[in-house]
Amino acid sequence: MIVVCVVGDGEAETGPLATAWHSNKFLNPKIDGAVLPILHLNGYKISNPTVLARISKNELKQFFMGCGYKPYFVEGSDPKAMHQLMAKTLEIVVKEIKSIQAKARNSKKSVVRPIWPMIVLNTPKGWTGPKYIDGLKMEGYWRSHQVPLAEMAEKPEHIRALEQWMKSYKPEELFDKHGRLVPVLAALAPKGKLRMSDNPHTNGGLLLRDLKMPDFRKYAINVDKPGTVESEPTRVMGYFLRDVMKINQKTKNFRVFGPDENNFKSARCGIRCY
């Protein structure tokens, strides 16, 4: 299974997402699926420029190469040209991912961590929206973030601008007179198990395995009198997590990620900890 994850360049600056670029180190192409990250580089967050959009393309490329990716750049502002370029790039990277997986799964040798592909999608902020509102720059600038058109009750010209914007997508070519999607476009939607809501990987039931849990009462600390027992809650939790991993080793549906201060004695508990 290949999961596409689109990350805005503003969100990419937050701690969890900045760290998540390293999650590729935990993907085993022999037994795991794959994640295709797409960095949407549009230059701005709520009212400021983004860091990744203010460094050179070469530096950005080197950054992602250092994170273990092979970056592909899809850049431009012409929707028709970008549509074709994005489709072509997606085809290339999906084939590359499948090639990495096939090589790992058909080999009896130990798996060497591959360099996974990723995409940098570089488009203007507020792409295809109004270029100017009230004489102020919108497309390609921070003002197009979130709600570019507000104060509808007080500013009827905003309503007209919104109408013009929506009509630019030519809805008469997309829907019939009853508001239904035209058949040629409706036929493009996935069917059966390929639909996200019906896919066994995503619908929250078919592939889930119950986590076996030890009796938490075994990890209680007996305290006969206050101030007479020394114990560390974190260490007790460590014993508990160790045992959770041990009894779920067969299904491999529990893993601990330790960013720092983790001291698992893998020889004693017989597990791998990351």
Q: What is the pLDDT of residues 137-188, one digit of tens each?
A: 999 999 998 888 888 999 999 999 999 999 999 999 999 999 999 999 999 9
Q: What are phi and psi of 119, to 5 degrees?
A: -120, 135
Query: Does 80 reside within a domain?
Result: yes
| Per-residue model confidence (pLDDT) at position 55 | 95
Identify the domain boundary among 71, 103, 123.
123
Domain count, the chain: 2
Residue 258 has pLDDT above 80, yes or no: no
| Residue 58 is assigned to a structural domain of this protein | yes
Q: Is residue 246 part of a domain?
A: yes
Q: Identify whether residues 11 and 112 lie together within a single domain.
A: yes
**Average pLDDT of the chain, as a whole number:** 90
Which long-range contacts does 161-166 make (Cβ < 8 Å, 24+ apart)? 161/130, 161/133, 164/130, 165/129, 165/130
Q: 68, 90, 123: which is the final residue of a domain?
A: 123
Does this model's pTM top 0.85? My answer is: no
| pLDDT value for 232 | 87
Are the beta carbons of 246 and 214 closer than 8 angstroms?
no
Question: What does the pLDDT look like over 217-238, one tens digit per residue?
Answer: 999 999 988 888 888 888 898 8
Q: How many helices (H) and strands (E) does the chain have?
A: 7, 6
**Residue tagged 């114990």 (tokens):** 231
Assess whether 118 and 226 both reside in one domain: no
Judged against a pLDDT cut of 80, whether residue 264 lies above it is answered with: no
Residue 78: domain span: 2-123
pLDDT at 273 over 50: no
**Is 242 within the bounds of a domain?**
yes
Residue 178's contacts (CB-CB under 8 Å, 6 or more residues apart) are none
pLDDT band at 40 (very low <50, low <70, confident <90, very high): very high
Final residue of a structural domain among 89, 107, 123: 123
> Residue 78 falls within a domain, yes or no?
yes
* One domain, residues 9 and 119: yes
Q: What is the CA radius of gyration of the chain?
A: 25
> Tokens in use for 123?
């488009």
152 assigned to some structural domain: no
In this structure, is residue 129 part of a structural domain?
no
| 185 located within any domain | no
Burial 207-242 (b: 16+ CB within 10 A, else e): eeeeeeeeeeeeeeeeeeeeeeeeeeeeeeebeebb
